[in-house]
Amino acid sequence: MDWQSIVVPVAVAAATALISWGLTLLTALIKSKLGDDALARCLSEAVGIVDNAVKATYQTYVQALKEAGSFDKDAQLAALEKAKYAALSQLSAEVKEYIASAYGDIDKWLEMQIEGRLYELKQGAAAAA
């Protein structure tokens, strides 16, 4: 049995737990900073959807390519597009409108959120290893 076959699943599980904990803190921070509950709900919903889109894309697309050793730059770009599409298709019209009014370009906002989640996941996996 290879040590990586043990460490990688443990690291992924630890990173997922860290991300969930971080999202809980982020949600609490959002609610404390925003006076309007509707706005807090919109942003919290959007962040949760992005998080789920990143996790689903990793589970259904990235993981298999990494295991096959074929996760290259083109596959990274495709994964980003898949995660963006998954998140965008789940966001309600109200949430999209809020993001557009508060942050401008929704595609740029989604890319930043996805990249941020990926960074957290990688940092959590590196810390666990």
pTM to 2 decimals? 0.68
Instruction: Please state the φ and ψ torsions of residue 71, each to the nearest 5 degrees.
Output: -90, 90
Mean pLDDT of 33-44: 71
Higher-confidence residue: 101 or 15? 101
Tokens of 93: 């019209």
Q: What is the 3-state secondary structure (H, E, C) of 79-120?
A: HHHHHHHHHHHHCCHHHHHHHHHHHCCHHHHHHHHHHHHHHH
Q: Is the pLDDT confidence value at 111 over 80? A: yes
pLDDT tens track for 64-110: 888 889 889 998 999 999 999 999 999 999 899 888 988 889 999 99
Check if the beta carbon of residue 82 is closer than 8 Å to that of residue 61.
yes
Q: At 105, give phi and psi (nearest 5°).
A: -65, 115
Q: What φ, ψ does residue 2 adopt, rounded to 5°?
A: -80, 140
